[in-house]
Amino acid sequence: MAEYDVDLFVIGGGSGGVRAARIAAGYGARVVVAEEYRMGGTCVIRGCVPKKLFVIGSHVHQEIEDAAGFGWSIGDVSFDWATLVANKDKEIARLEGAYTTNVEKSGARIVKTRAVLEDAHTIRLGTGETVTAKYILIATGGAPNHGPAIPGIEHVISSNEAFHLKELPKRIVIQGGGYIALEFAGIFAGYGSDVTVVYRGENILRGFDEDVRKHVRAEMEKRGITIITGCTVTKVDKHGRDFTSHLSGGSSIASDQVMFAIGRHPNVANLGLETAGVAINPANGGIQVDGWSKTSADNIYAIGDVTHRTNLTPVAIREGHAFADTVFGKRPVQVDHATIPTAVFSQPEVGTVGLTEEEARTQFSHIDVYKADFRPIKATMSGRDTRVLMKLVVDGLSDRVLGCHIVGDCAAEITQAVAIAVKMKATKADFDATVALHPTASEELVTMRTPTARHVRQAAE
């Protein structure tokens, strides 16, 4: 008789947990996945996928405006928020079904219930049933964090609720300056809302390259989005269907919706981690893991946002795959968390891979910066006041390209391809030797010949 009921029990049916389950089952493991809500996790159900669908739809208004410069005369148009939400829901339901089918096809079993650890090998399901497992993988993701409990916090929505609003807000206040806040600012503005962004820092997109931060802010403000930095929302009052957001600077803003996107916290509560001997990383509040995604309990692993390492869907998927290869495929694989490309689907879009100029100047003694700031070809006919930013950060000694930063249309698509070159440690000479693809915005990446800045760090005496 088997010592355990299953070889692997996965808690969480998101992208990372599903990949781990499918690969482990492919190696012959007996696998169970527990998901208490909907298969697909944050990305599919309430994150990247519905967000990107909303972003795509919000671009249409700008396309209609730009069309006149190309000879198109478009009559009266209208937009129906309810149709957008209903069609999005239909697509998410399709994807959820695909996730479920793919797991079951792999041979793994799904249980639609909450799962809590009783000890390092025992899981209690919401049904009251217990299951024993040789290995346990925690992939419970993260959730929006509203921050301190200010007066009126109950009136505030998160990105979760934003996908299901009954109607498009005419005016919305969004607190936050990162990915989610700026993406929703662009979404709502694109559909016609009056948008105000409030952020506590000195500028939006903390952690991104300084030129990117300045460029995105300037472009967003050109599009009519108000950005208030250096303050926070301290109180939210409700008056009928309207709200007043009081700011730390003393001013207030009226709106018919208030959204907070100030960060996310790992879903670690009430999982029974202590009873199973799983430690929390005091630095970030996520489950503490080593380079193999192993927790402080020898047979328990954790991947994805619940570890609060690099909170990106493809990273969770890569971690889940590596876990299954290592534990069940007998092919030890560690995930390299360096040089991970990322995008912000703000408007304008941001794509970035590698080091920022500031990071590079800290780590390397000689840094060359190549930068192009230009009007895209489309704007010459549409008349739109917009500019594209392309930036390369290069090691002045080895000539290796350390970072690439793009702001403009299709920035994410371009960055995915450039990330291959950066990961392969391509040099600026390699970029220069590549023939330009004309006319494109991205040809600037291989035609920038003269550094816009050179930095040499003086050695300490």
**Mean residue pLDDT across the chain:** 95
Question: Of 356, 400, 416, 364, which Cα lies nearest the Cα of 208?
Answer: 356
d(CA 170, CA 426): 48
pLDDT band at 87 (very low <50, low <70, confident <90, very high): very high
pLDDT at 180 over 80: yes
Q: What is the pLDDT of residue 2?
A: 67
- For residue 1, the one-letter residue type is M
- Structural tokens at position 186: 């662009």
What would the mean pLDDT of 124-144 be, rounded to a whole number?
94
Token pair 């409030």 in the structure block, residue: 198
The secondary structure element, H or E, covering residue 100 is helix 81-106
What would the mean pLDDT of 74-92 be, rounded to a whole number?
95
The three-point CA angle 318-324-328 to 5° equals 160
Cα distances from 218 to residues 18, 359, 374, in angstroms, run: 40, 23, 14
pLDDT at 170 over 80: yes
Kind of pairing between the strands at 226-229 and 194-199: parallel
Question: Of 149, 146, 176, which Cα lies nearest the Cα of 161?
Answer: 146
pLDDT at 442 over 50: yes
pLDDT tens figures, 44-70: 888 999 999 999 999 999 999 999 999
pLDDT at 1 over 50: no
Q: In the chain, what are the helix, strand and coil shares in percent, each to the nearest 5?
A: 35, 25, 40
Confidence (pTM): 0.94
What would the mean pLDDT of 12-17 be, rounded to a whole number?
95
d(CA 195, CA 367): 38
What would the mean pLDDT of 417-421 be, rounded to a whole number?
98
Residues β-bridged to residue 266: 142
Cα distances from 95 to residues 44, 89, 137, 189, 356, in angstroms, run: 7, 10, 23, 27, 35
Q: What percent of the chain has pLDDT over 70?
A: 99
Token pair 């009136």 in the structure block, residue: 155
Q: What is the pLDDT of residue 459?
A: 60
The three-point CA angle 76-79-85 to 5° equals 165
The three-point CA angle 316-319-320 to 5° equals 85
pLDDT tens figures, 187-234: 999 999 999 999 999 999 999 999 999 999 999 999 999 999 999 999
What would the mean pLDDT of 276-282 be, rounded to a whole number?
95
Q: What percent of the chain has pLDDT over 90?
A: 94
d(CA 188, CA 226): 13
The three-point CA angle 446-447-450 to 5° equals 115
- Residues present in the chain in total: 461
pLDDT at 461 over 70: no
Cβ pair 412, 343 in contact under 8 A: yes
Cα distances from 348 to residues 24, 57, 189, 384, 409, in angstroms, run: 40, 14, 12, 13, 7
What would the mean pLDDT of 235-262 be, rounded to a whole number?
95
pLDDT tens figures, 329-339: 999 999 999 99
Q: Walk me through the domains of the chain, giving residue ranges and CATH numbers.
A: 6-144+265-327 (3.50.50.60), 153-262 (3.50.50.60), 348-456 (3.30.390.30)
Burial class (CB in 10 A: 0-12, 13-18, 19+), 90: exposed
What would the mean pLDDT of 422-446 be, rounded to a whole number?
97
- Structural tokens at position 164: 């299901």
Q: Show Cβ contacts of residue 214 under 8 Å, excluding neighbours closer than 6 positions.
A: 203
The secondary structure element, H or E, covering residue 217 is helix 210-222
Q: What is the pLDDT of residue 42?
A: 86
Cβ pair 172, 245 in contact under 8 A: no
Question: Of 175, 182, 260, 172, which Cα lies nearest the Cα of 216?
Answer: 182
pLDDT at 460 over 60: no
pLDDT tens figures, 362-418: 999 999 999 999 999 999 999 999 999 999 999 999 999 999 999 999 999 999 999
Residues identified as active-site: 438
